[in-house]
Structure 1
Amino acid sequence: MRATDPVRGGGTAGDLAVLDERVAACRACSRLVAWREEVARVRRPAFASWEYWGRPVPGFGPADARMLVIGLAPAAHGGNRTGRMFTGDRSGDVLYAALHAVGLASRPTATSRDDGLVLRGVRVTSPVHCAPPANKPTPAERDACRPWLLNELRLLRPHLRSVVVLGGFGWQAALPALAAAGWDVPRPRPAFGHGVRVDLGGLGLFGCYHVSQRNTFTGLLTPDMLLDVLRAARDAAGLPG
Protein backbone atom coordinates (compact mmCIF):
# COMPACT_ATOMS: atom_id res chain seq x y z
CA MET A 1 0.00 0.00 0.00
CA ARG A 2 1.10 3.59 -0.57
CA ALA A 3 2.20 5.82 2.27
CA THR A 4 -0.76 8.11 1.58
CA ASP A 5 -3.36 5.44 2.34
CA PRO A 6 -3.82 6.59 5.97
CA VAL A 7 -5.23 9.88 4.69
CA ARG A 8 -8.02 8.05 2.91
CA GLY A 9 -8.60 5.80 5.92
CA GLY A 10 -8.45 8.45 8.63
CA GLY A 11 -9.20 11.76 6.99
CA THR A 12 -12.96 11.60 7.40
CA ALA A 13 -13.07 10.09 10.88
CA GLY A 14 -15.86 11.83 12.78
CA ASP A 15 -14.68 10.85 16.23
CA LEU A 16 -11.77 9.20 17.98
CA ALA A 17 -13.47 5.80 18.21
CA VAL A 18 -13.78 5.67 14.43
CA LEU A 19 -10.23 6.91 13.98
CA ASP A 20 -8.90 4.28 16.40
CA GLU A 21 -10.63 1.51 14.45
CA ARG A 22 -9.06 2.74 11.23
CA VAL A 23 -5.62 3.01 12.82
CA ALA A 24 -5.85 -0.61 13.96
CA ALA A 25 -6.60 -1.74 10.39
CA CYS A 26 -3.71 0.12 8.69
CA ARG A 27 -1.24 -1.87 6.55
CA ALA A 28 0.58 1.03 4.89
CA CYS A 29 4.18 0.12 5.86
CA SER A 30 5.20 -3.33 4.65
CA ARG A 31 8.29 -3.61 6.88
CA LEU A 32 6.30 -2.82 10.01
CA VAL A 33 3.41 -5.10 9.04
CA ALA A 34 5.80 -8.02 8.53
CA TRP A 35 7.64 -7.39 11.80
CA ARG A 36 4.61 -6.91 14.06
CA GLU A 37 2.92 -10.02 12.66
CA GLU A 38 6.08 -12.12 12.97
CA VAL A 39 6.50 -11.08 16.60
CA ALA A 40 2.85 -11.93 17.27
CA ARG A 41 3.30 -15.35 15.66
CA VAL A 42 6.60 -16.36 17.32
CA ARG A 43 5.96 -14.65 20.70
CA ARG A 44 8.30 -14.31 23.63
CA PRO A 45 8.43 -17.49 25.78
CA ALA A 46 7.24 -15.54 28.84
CA PHE A 47 4.07 -14.62 26.91
CA ALA A 48 3.55 -17.88 25.04
CA SER A 49 -0.02 -18.18 26.31
CA TRP A 50 -0.98 -14.71 25.08
CA GLU A 51 -2.88 -14.07 21.87
CA TYR A 52 -0.86 -11.08 20.64
CA TRP A 53 -2.65 -8.04 19.25
CA GLY A 54 -0.22 -7.90 16.32
CA ARG A 55 -1.78 -4.80 14.72
CA PRO A 56 -1.27 -1.04 14.87
CA VAL A 57 -1.98 0.24 18.38
CA PRO A 58 -4.38 3.20 18.58
CA GLY A 59 -4.21 5.98 21.15
CA PHE A 60 -5.62 5.47 24.63
CA GLY A 61 -7.60 7.93 26.72
CA PRO A 62 -10.73 10.10 26.69
CA ALA A 63 -11.96 11.96 23.63
CA ASP A 64 -12.15 15.21 25.60
CA ALA A 65 -8.58 14.96 26.91
CA ARG A 66 -7.02 18.29 27.84
CA MET A 67 -3.51 16.80 27.86
CA LEU A 68 -1.77 14.50 25.39
CA VAL A 69 1.36 12.38 25.85
CA ILE A 70 3.16 11.46 22.62
CA GLY A 71 5.68 8.60 22.71
CA LEU A 72 7.60 6.87 19.92
CA ALA A 73 6.02 3.53 18.91
CA PRO A 74 4.53 0.44 20.58
CA ALA A 75 6.93 -2.13 22.06
CA ALA A 76 7.09 -5.50 20.32
CA HIS A 77 6.05 -7.41 23.43
CA GLY A 78 4.22 -4.51 25.08
CA GLY A 79 1.59 -2.68 23.06
CA ASN A 80 2.00 -5.09 20.14
CA ARG A 81 1.01 -7.84 22.59
CA THR A 82 -1.68 -6.10 24.64
CA GLY A 83 -3.16 -3.75 22.05
CA ARG A 84 -2.90 -0.67 24.25
CA MET A 85 -0.32 2.12 24.30
CA PHE A 86 2.49 1.69 26.85
CA THR A 87 0.79 -1.37 28.32
CA GLY A 88 2.71 -4.46 29.37
CA ASP A 89 6.30 -3.16 29.13
CA ARG A 90 8.88 -1.43 31.33
CA SER A 91 8.39 1.97 29.72
CA GLY A 92 4.69 1.79 30.46
CA ASP A 93 5.42 0.78 34.05
CA VAL A 94 7.29 4.06 34.48
CA LEU A 95 4.81 6.25 32.61
CA TYR A 96 1.59 5.00 34.20
CA ALA A 97 3.07 5.02 37.70
CA ALA A 98 3.95 8.68 37.14
CA LEU A 99 0.55 9.55 35.66
CA HIS A 100 -1.08 7.92 38.70
CA ALA A 101 1.21 9.85 41.04
CA VAL A 102 0.07 13.18 39.55
CA GLY A 103 -3.62 12.22 39.62
CA LEU A 104 -4.14 11.45 35.93
CA ALA A 105 -4.52 7.65 36.05
CA SER A 106 -6.79 5.51 38.20
CA ARG A 107 -4.05 2.98 38.96
CA PRO A 108 -0.25 2.85 38.73
CA THR A 109 0.01 -0.27 36.56
CA ALA A 110 -1.03 -1.19 33.02
CA THR A 111 -1.10 -4.88 32.14
CA SER A 112 -3.90 -5.46 29.62
CA ARG A 113 -6.78 -3.75 27.84
CA ASP A 114 -9.23 -5.06 30.43
CA ASP A 115 -7.28 -4.23 33.59
CA GLY A 116 -9.63 -1.40 34.57
CA LEU A 117 -7.14 1.43 34.05
CA VAL A 118 -8.83 4.77 33.38
CA LEU A 119 -7.01 7.94 32.33
CA ARG A 120 -8.32 11.24 33.69
CA GLY A 121 -8.12 14.12 31.27
CA VAL A 122 -5.07 12.75 29.44
CA ARG A 123 -4.64 10.65 26.31
CA VAL A 124 -1.55 8.66 25.28
CA THR A 125 -0.54 8.16 21.65
CA SER A 126 2.51 7.83 19.40
CA PRO A 127 3.67 9.08 15.99
CA VAL A 128 4.19 5.49 14.79
CA HIS A 129 1.45 2.99 15.63
CA CYS A 130 3.21 -0.28 14.74
CA ALA A 131 6.01 -1.91 16.72
CA PRO A 132 9.24 -1.38 14.73
CA PRO A 133 12.31 -3.64 14.63
CA ALA A 134 14.85 -2.61 17.30
CA ASN A 135 12.39 0.10 18.42
CA LYS A 136 13.58 2.23 15.50
CA PRO A 137 11.01 3.31 12.91
CA THR A 138 12.41 4.97 9.82
CA PRO A 139 11.72 8.61 8.92
CA ALA A 140 9.63 7.35 5.98
CA GLU A 141 7.51 5.22 8.34
CA ARG A 142 7.11 8.19 10.67
CA ASP A 143 5.94 10.33 7.77
CA ALA A 144 3.56 7.64 6.47
CA CYS A 145 1.96 7.43 9.93
CA ARG A 146 1.71 11.20 10.43
CA PRO A 147 -1.84 11.53 9.01
CA TRP A 148 -3.11 9.46 11.94
CA LEU A 149 -1.49 11.80 14.45
CA LEU A 150 -2.72 14.83 12.52
CA ASN A 151 -6.31 13.58 12.56
CA GLU A 152 -6.04 12.71 16.25
CA LEU A 153 -4.82 16.22 17.03
CA ARG A 154 -7.62 17.79 15.00
CA LEU A 155 -10.22 15.77 16.90
CA LEU A 156 -8.66 16.62 20.25
CA ARG A 157 -8.14 20.30 19.46
CA PRO A 158 -11.35 21.70 21.02
CA HIS A 159 -10.24 20.54 24.47
CA LEU A 160 -6.47 20.09 24.21
CA ARG A 161 -4.35 22.48 26.29
CA SER A 162 -1.00 20.72 26.74
CA VAL A 163 1.18 18.13 25.01
CA VAL A 164 4.11 16.19 26.47
CA VAL A 165 6.45 14.69 23.88
CA LEU A 166 8.70 11.84 25.02
CA GLY A 167 12.00 11.96 23.14
CA GLY A 168 13.50 13.64 20.12
CA PHE A 169 11.95 11.32 17.54
CA GLY A 170 8.46 12.08 18.81
CA TRP A 171 9.30 15.79 18.93
CA GLN A 172 10.31 15.83 15.26
CA ALA A 173 7.11 14.00 14.36
CA ALA A 174 4.83 16.12 16.54
CA LEU A 175 5.87 19.62 15.45
CA PRO A 176 4.76 19.39 11.80
CA ALA A 177 1.57 17.59 12.84
CA LEU A 178 0.77 20.31 15.37
CA ALA A 179 1.40 22.97 12.74
CA ALA A 180 -0.82 21.20 10.21
CA ALA A 181 -3.55 20.86 12.86
CA GLY A 182 -3.61 24.64 13.20
CA TRP A 183 -1.37 25.54 16.12
CA ASP A 184 1.17 28.34 15.80
CA VAL A 185 4.51 26.48 15.76
CA PRO A 186 7.46 28.92 15.73
CA ARG A 187 9.93 29.12 12.85
CA PRO A 188 12.60 27.94 13.13
CA ARG A 189 11.03 25.04 14.96
CA PRO A 190 12.10 24.78 18.61
CA ALA A 191 14.74 22.17 19.43
CA PHE A 192 13.94 19.22 21.66
CA GLY A 193 15.26 19.12 25.18
CA HIS A 194 14.15 17.76 28.51
CA GLY A 195 12.14 20.41 30.34
CA VAL A 196 11.69 22.58 27.25
CA ARG A 197 8.36 24.40 27.22
CA VAL A 198 6.96 26.17 24.16
CA ASP A 199 3.77 28.19 23.98
CA LEU A 200 1.89 27.40 20.79
CA GLY A 201 -0.84 29.98 21.30
CA GLY A 202 -3.01 28.41 23.97
CA LEU A 203 -1.29 25.03 23.88
CA GLY A 204 1.68 24.26 26.11
CA LEU A 205 4.22 21.96 24.45
CA PHE A 206 6.61 20.15 26.83
CA GLY A 207 9.72 18.12 26.03
CA CYS A 208 10.64 15.12 28.19
CA TYR A 209 13.23 12.38 27.83
CA HIS A 210 11.61 9.13 26.76
CA VAL A 211 10.65 6.67 29.50
CA SER A 212 12.75 3.93 27.89
CA GLN A 213 14.68 1.44 30.00
CA ARG A 214 17.93 2.91 28.74
CA ASN A 215 17.02 6.37 30.01
CA THR A 216 15.51 5.29 33.31
CA PHE A 217 18.12 2.65 34.17
CA THR A 218 21.02 5.05 33.51
CA GLY A 219 19.41 7.91 35.40
CA LEU A 220 19.16 10.17 32.36
CA LEU A 221 15.48 10.37 33.28
CA THR A 222 14.73 10.12 37.00
CA PRO A 223 11.25 9.73 38.53
CA ASP A 224 11.38 13.30 39.83
CA MET A 225 12.31 14.65 36.39
CA LEU A 226 9.34 12.89 34.83
CA LEU A 227 6.96 13.99 37.56
CA ASP A 228 8.05 17.61 37.21
CA VAL A 229 7.19 17.65 33.50
CA LEU A 230 3.87 15.86 33.97
CA ARG A 231 2.83 18.20 36.78
CA ALA A 232 3.69 21.25 34.68
CA ALA A 233 1.70 19.91 31.73
CA ARG A 234 -1.21 18.90 33.99
CA ASP A 235 -1.34 22.40 35.45
CA ALA A 236 -1.10 24.00 32.00
CA ALA A 237 -4.08 21.88 30.95
CA GLY A 238 -6.08 22.99 33.99
CA LEU A 239 -6.45 19.43 35.28
CA PRO A 240 -6.81 18.65 39.00
CA GLY A 241 -3.99 16.84 40.79
Structure 2
Amino acid sequence: MTSDILADRCRSERSLLGALCQRVIACRQCPRLVQHRERTAQEKVRRYRDCEYWGRPVPGFGDPDARLLVVGLAPAAHGGNRTGRIFTGDRSGDFLYRALHRAGFANQPTSIDRDDGLRLSNCYITAAVRCAPPDNKPTVAELKRCRSFLLEELSLLRQVLVIVALGQVAFRACLNVLKARGVPVPTPLPRFGHGEVTAFPKDLVMVASYHPSQQNTQTGRLTEAMFRQVFDLAKRYLDASPGQLNDRVTTQRR
Protein backbone atom coordinates (compact mmCIF):
# COMPACT_ATOMS: atom_id res chain seq x y z
CA MET A 1 0.00 0.00 0.00
CA THR A 2 1.46 3.40 -1.00
CA SER A 3 2.08 6.19 1.50
CA ASP A 4 -0.63 8.34 -0.17
CA ILE A 5 -3.24 5.60 0.29
CA LEU A 6 -2.17 5.13 3.92
CA ALA A 7 -2.43 8.87 4.54
CA ASP A 8 -5.92 8.96 3.01
CA ARG A 9 -7.00 6.03 5.19
CA CYS A 10 -5.65 7.76 8.31
CA ARG A 11 -7.55 10.96 7.50
CA SER A 12 -10.72 8.96 6.87
CA GLU A 13 -10.43 7.06 10.15
CA ARG A 14 -9.83 10.26 12.11
CA SER A 15 -12.92 11.76 10.50
CA LEU A 16 -14.98 8.68 11.39
CA LEU A 17 -13.73 8.82 14.98
CA GLY A 18 -14.78 12.48 15.21
CA ALA A 19 -18.21 11.62 13.79
CA LEU A 20 -18.56 8.83 16.36
CA CYS A 21 -17.78 11.29 19.17
CA GLN A 22 -20.57 13.56 17.94
CA ARG A 23 -23.03 10.65 17.90
CA VAL A 24 -22.02 9.75 21.45
CA ILE A 25 -22.64 13.33 22.61
CA ALA A 26 -26.09 13.37 21.00
CA CYS A 27 -27.20 10.00 22.43
CA ARG A 28 -30.41 9.85 24.48
CA GLN A 29 -31.05 6.09 24.40
CA CYS A 30 -31.24 5.52 28.16
CA PRO A 31 -33.98 7.57 29.90
CA ARG A 32 -32.66 6.88 33.41
CA LEU A 33 -29.15 8.06 32.51
CA VAL A 34 -30.42 11.12 30.62
CA GLN A 35 -32.49 12.16 33.63
CA HIS A 36 -29.63 11.62 36.08
CA ARG A 37 -26.92 13.40 34.08
CA GLU A 38 -29.15 16.40 33.35
CA ARG A 39 -30.52 16.69 36.88
CA THR A 40 -26.98 16.53 38.27
CA ALA A 41 -25.89 19.27 35.85
CA GLN A 42 -28.73 21.49 37.06
CA GLU A 43 -28.56 20.82 40.79
CA LYS A 44 -24.73 20.67 40.95
CA VAL A 45 -22.84 20.49 44.24
CA ARG A 46 -21.73 23.43 46.33
CA ARG A 47 -18.07 23.32 45.33
CA TYR A 48 -19.00 23.54 41.65
CA ARG A 49 -22.09 25.73 41.90
CA ASP A 50 -20.51 28.43 39.69
CA CYS A 51 -19.45 25.94 37.00
CA GLU A 52 -21.38 25.24 33.83
CA TYR A 53 -21.83 21.47 33.66
CA TRP A 54 -21.47 19.47 30.44
CA GLY A 55 -24.46 17.28 31.32
CA ARG A 56 -24.26 15.11 28.19
CA PRO A 57 -22.66 11.79 27.23
CA VAL A 58 -18.87 11.95 27.33
CA PRO A 59 -16.96 10.73 24.25
CA GLY A 60 -13.60 9.01 24.17
CA PHE A 61 -10.45 11.11 24.11
CA GLY A 62 -6.86 10.74 22.94
CA ASP A 63 -4.53 9.77 20.13
CA PRO A 64 -6.32 8.29 17.09
CA ASP A 65 -3.17 6.27 16.37
CA ALA A 66 -3.02 4.90 19.90
CA ARG A 67 -1.69 1.43 20.57
CA LEU A 68 -2.92 1.60 24.19
CA LEU A 69 -6.64 1.74 24.93
CA VAL A 70 -7.76 2.50 28.50
CA VAL A 71 -11.38 1.62 29.29
CA GLY A 72 -13.12 2.86 32.44
CA LEU A 73 -16.61 2.39 33.84
CA ALA A 74 -18.43 5.69 33.19
CA PRO A 75 -18.05 9.46 33.67
CA ALA A 76 -18.25 10.69 37.25
CA ALA A 77 -21.30 12.80 38.08
CA HIS A 78 -19.18 15.80 39.06
CA GLY A 79 -16.11 14.83 37.00
CA GLY A 80 -16.63 14.00 33.34
CA ASN A 81 -20.32 14.91 33.52
CA ARG A 82 -19.19 18.39 34.61
CA THR A 83 -16.11 18.88 32.42
CA GLY A 84 -17.10 16.95 29.30
CA ARG A 85 -13.90 14.93 29.17
CA ILE A 86 -13.41 11.42 30.42
CA PHE A 87 -11.61 11.07 33.80
CA THR A 88 -11.32 14.85 34.07
CA GLY A 89 -12.03 16.95 37.13
CA ASP A 90 -12.19 14.19 39.75
CA ARG A 91 -9.91 12.18 42.03
CA SER A 92 -10.01 9.07 39.83
CA GLY A 93 -8.70 11.15 36.94
CA ASP A 94 -5.94 12.61 39.12
CA PHE A 95 -4.83 9.09 39.94
CA LEU A 96 -5.03 7.92 36.32
CA TYR A 97 -3.25 10.84 34.65
CA ARG A 98 -0.38 10.79 37.14
CA ALA A 99 0.25 7.19 36.11
CA LEU A 100 -0.12 7.93 32.39
CA HIS A 101 2.25 10.90 32.64
CA ARG A 102 4.86 8.85 34.47
CA ALA A 103 4.60 6.14 31.80
CA GLY A 104 4.97 8.67 28.96
CA PHE A 105 1.40 8.51 27.63
CA ALA A 106 0.36 12.02 28.78
CA ASN A 107 2.15 15.36 28.55
CA GLN A 108 1.07 16.41 32.06
CA PRO A 109 -0.01 14.66 35.27
CA THR A 110 -3.26 16.56 35.77
CA SER A 111 -6.59 16.79 33.94
CA ILE A 112 -8.74 19.67 35.14
CA ASP A 113 -10.92 20.69 32.18
CA ARG A 114 -11.19 20.29 28.41
CA ASP A 115 -8.94 23.31 27.77
CA ASP A 116 -6.10 22.53 30.18
CA GLY A 117 -3.60 21.55 27.47
CA LEU A 118 -3.60 17.83 28.22
CA ARG A 119 -2.50 15.68 25.29
CA LEU A 120 -2.29 11.91 25.14
CA SER A 121 0.40 10.17 23.12
CA ASN A 122 -0.11 6.59 21.89
CA CYS A 123 -3.09 6.32 24.25
CA TYR A 124 -6.86 6.64 23.94
CA ILE A 125 -9.27 6.66 26.90
CA THR A 126 -12.92 5.69 26.81
CA ALA A 127 -15.58 4.03 28.97
CA ALA A 128 -18.07 1.19 28.97
CA VAL A 129 -20.92 3.67 29.59
CA ARG A 130 -20.88 7.28 28.39
CA CYS A 131 -23.29 8.90 30.86
CA ALA A 132 -22.84 9.26 34.61
CA PRO A 133 -25.04 6.52 36.17
CA PRO A 134 -26.75 6.83 39.56
CA ASP A 135 -24.45 5.44 42.28
CA ASN A 136 -21.92 4.58 39.52
CA LYS A 137 -24.00 1.49 38.71
CA PRO A 138 -25.24 1.17 35.12
CA THR A 139 -27.82 -1.50 34.43
CA VAL A 140 -27.23 -4.47 32.16
CA ALA A 141 -29.51 -2.89 29.55
CA GLU A 142 -27.62 0.42 29.69
CA LEU A 143 -24.29 -1.35 29.25
CA LYS A 144 -25.69 -3.23 26.27
CA ARG A 145 -27.00 -0.05 24.60
CA CYS A 146 -23.62 1.65 24.99
CA ARG A 147 -21.69 -1.36 23.71
CA SER A 148 -21.99 -0.31 20.07
CA PHE A 149 -19.95 2.83 20.78
CA LEU A 150 -17.07 0.87 22.30
CA LEU A 151 -17.27 -1.66 19.49
CA GLU A 152 -17.00 1.07 16.86
CA GLU A 153 -14.13 2.77 18.70
CA LEU A 154 -12.16 -0.44 18.80
CA SER A 155 -12.81 -0.94 15.08
CA LEU A 156 -11.55 2.57 14.26
CA LEU A 157 -8.54 2.47 16.60
CA ARG A 158 -6.74 0.02 14.34
CA GLN A 159 -3.33 0.27 16.04
CA VAL A 160 -4.47 -0.89 19.49
CA LEU A 161 -2.36 -3.73 20.87
CA VAL A 162 -2.93 -3.38 24.61
CA ILE A 163 -6.19 -2.71 26.45
CA VAL A 164 -6.14 -1.70 30.11
CA ALA A 165 -9.56 -2.42 31.64
CA LEU A 166 -10.20 -0.40 34.79
CA GLY A 167 -12.52 -2.40 37.01
CA GLN A 168 -14.63 -5.48 36.58
CA VAL A 169 -17.44 -3.77 34.63
CA ALA A 170 -15.01 -2.41 32.04
CA PHE A 171 -13.26 -5.78 31.92
CA ARG A 172 -16.51 -7.60 31.08
CA ALA A 173 -17.51 -4.89 28.59
CA CYS A 174 -14.21 -5.35 26.76
CA LEU A 175 -14.67 -9.12 26.60
CA ASN A 176 -18.18 -8.66 25.18
CA VAL A 177 -16.95 -6.21 22.55
CA LEU A 178 -14.07 -8.44 21.51
CA LYS A 179 -16.48 -11.37 21.13
CA ALA A 180 -18.79 -9.16 19.06
CA ARG A 181 -15.84 -8.34 16.80
CA GLY A 182 -15.22 -12.03 16.26
CA VAL A 183 -12.05 -12.16 18.35
CA PRO A 184 -11.62 -15.63 19.87
CA VAL A 185 -11.98 -15.30 23.65
CA PRO A 186 -10.42 -17.98 25.90
CA THR A 187 -12.72 -20.52 27.51
CA PRO A 188 -13.48 -20.64 30.31
CA LEU A 189 -13.84 -16.85 30.27
CA PRO A 190 -10.92 -15.02 31.88
CA ARG A 191 -11.58 -13.95 35.47
CA PHE A 192 -11.05 -10.38 36.60
CA GLY A 193 -8.09 -9.77 38.89
CA HIS A 194 -5.75 -6.86 39.34
CA GLY A 195 -2.69 -7.30 37.13
CA GLU A 196 -4.14 -10.31 35.32
CA VAL A 197 -3.22 -10.47 31.63
CA THR A 198 -5.24 -12.10 28.85
CA ALA A 199 -3.78 -12.71 25.40
CA PHE A 200 -5.85 -12.76 22.23
CA PRO A 201 -4.90 -13.54 18.62
CA LYS A 202 -3.08 -10.97 16.47
CA ASP A 203 -0.92 -9.71 19.33
CA LEU A 204 -3.78 -8.18 21.33
CA VAL A 205 -3.37 -8.18 25.11
CA MET A 206 -5.71 -7.04 27.89
CA VAL A 207 -4.42 -6.05 31.32
CA ALA A 208 -6.96 -5.84 34.17
CA SER A 209 -6.69 -3.28 36.94
CA TYR A 210 -8.72 -2.21 39.90
CA HIS A 211 -10.60 0.98 39.08
CA PRO A 212 -8.91 4.14 40.48
CA SER A 213 -12.06 5.13 42.38
CA GLN A 214 -11.70 6.79 45.76
CA GLN A 215 -13.25 3.71 47.30
CA ASN A 216 -10.22 1.74 46.09
CA THR A 217 -7.47 4.34 46.40
CA GLN A 218 -8.38 5.69 49.84
CA THR A 219 -8.69 2.23 51.36
CA GLY A 220 -5.35 1.10 49.93
CA ARG A 221 -6.89 -1.58 47.75
CA LEU A 222 -5.22 0.20 44.82
CA THR A 223 -1.99 2.02 45.54
CA GLU A 224 -0.03 4.29 43.23
CA ALA A 225 2.71 1.66 43.04
CA MET A 226 0.20 -1.02 41.99
CA PHE A 227 -1.26 1.30 39.35
CA ARG A 228 2.16 2.24 37.99
CA GLN A 229 2.96 -1.43 37.60
CA VAL A 230 -0.11 -1.87 35.35
CA PHE A 231 1.13 0.77 32.92
CA ASP A 232 4.73 -0.42 33.16
CA LEU A 233 3.40 -3.82 32.14
CA ALA A 234 1.42 -2.29 29.27
CA LYS A 235 4.58 -0.52 28.06
CA ARG A 236 6.55 -3.76 28.09
CA TYR A 237 3.96 -5.40 25.87
CA LEU A 238 3.94 -2.40 23.53
CA ASP A 239 7.73 -2.50 23.31
CA ALA A 240 7.72 -6.19 22.35
CA SER A 241 8.59 -7.12 18.79
CA PRO A 242 5.68 -8.07 16.47
CA GLY A 243 4.60 -11.63 17.16
CA GLN A 244 6.10 -11.66 20.66
CA LEU A 245 3.30 -10.16 22.76
CA ASN A 246 1.50 -13.43 23.33
CA ASP A 247 4.83 -15.15 24.03
CA ARG A 248 5.46 -12.62 26.80
CA VAL A 249 2.07 -13.35 28.36
CA THR A 250 2.84 -17.09 28.31
CA THR A 251 6.27 -16.48 29.86
CA GLN A 252 4.80 -14.29 32.61
CA ARG A 253 2.34 -17.04 33.63
CA ARG A 254 4.98 -19.75 34.02
Q: How high is the TM-score relative to the length of structure 1?
A: 0.91
* Alignment length (residue pairs): 227
Query: Which runs of no fewer than 5 residues in structure 1 stay unpaired?
Result: 1-12
Residue number in structure 2 paired with 1:72: 73
Residue number in structure 2 paired with 1:141: 142
Residue number in structure 1 paired with 2:223: 222
1:35-88 CA-to-partner distances (Å, cap 9, x unmatched) read 000000111111111110000000110111100011100000000000000000
Of 14-23 and 158-167, deviating more is 14-23
Residue number in structure 1 paired with 2:168: 168
CA–CA distance in structure 1, aligned partners of residues 232 and 182 of structure 2: 25
CA–CA distance in structure 2, aligned partners of residues 153 and 178 of structure 1: 9
Residue number in structure 2 paired with 1:89: 90
Alignment of 1:3-82 (within 5 A): 15-82=16-83
CA–CA distance in structure 2, aligned partners of residues 182 and 161 of structure 1: 16
The structure that has the greater radius of gyration is 2
Cα offset for 1:174? 1.1
Q: Choose between structure 1 and 2: higher helix proportion.
A: 2
Residue number in structure 2 paired with 1:150: 151
CA–CA distance in structure 1, aligned partners of residues 15 and 99 of structure 2: 32
Relative CO higher for 1 or 2, CA cutoff 8 Å, sep ≥ 6?
1
Residue number in structure 2 paired with 1:114: 115
1:199 aligns with 2:199: yes
Percent identity between matched residues is: 52
CA–CA distance in structure 2, aligned partners of residues 159 and 180 of structure 1: 18
1:4-34 CA-to-partner distances (Å, cap 9, x unmatched) read xxxxxxxxx9621110110010000000000
Q: Which amino acid aligns with 1:185?
A: V
Contact 1:53 1:80 in 2 (8 A): yes
Of 86-95 and 14-23, deviating more is 14-23
CA–CA distance in structure 1, aligned partners of residues 29 and 55 of structure 2: 15
Q: Which amino acid aligns with 1:39?
A: T
1:132-165 CA-to-partner distances (Å, cap 9, x unmatched) read 0111111111111100000011111x20110000
Residue number in structure 2 paired with 1:236: 237
CA–CA distance in structure 1, aligned partners of residues 112 and 131 of structure 2: 19
CA–CA distance in structure 1, aligned partners of residues 105 and 220 of structure 2: 24
Query: Which runs of no fewer than 5 residues in structure 2 stay unpaired?
Result: 1-13, 241-254
Cα offset for 1:235? 2.4
Alignment of 1:183-198 (within 5 A): 183-198=183-198
1:183-241 CA-to-partner distances (Å, cap 9, x unmatched) read 322122211110100111211100000000010011111111111111111221239xx
Q: How high is the TM-score relative to the length of structure 2?
A: 0.87
CA–CA distance in structure 1, aligned partners of residues 18 and 71 of structure 2: 18
Q: Which runs of 4+ in 1 moved over 3 A?
A: none
Q: Which amino acid aligns with 1:122?
A: C
Structure 2 counterpart SS, 1:218: coil
RMSD: 1.5
Structure 2 counterpart SS, 1:68: strand
Structure 2 counterpart SS, 1:57: coil
Contact 1:93 1:110 in 2 (8 A): yes
Q: Which amino acid aligns with 1:179?
A: K
Q: Which amino acid aligns with 2:161?
A: R
Residue number in structure 1 paired with 2:9: none
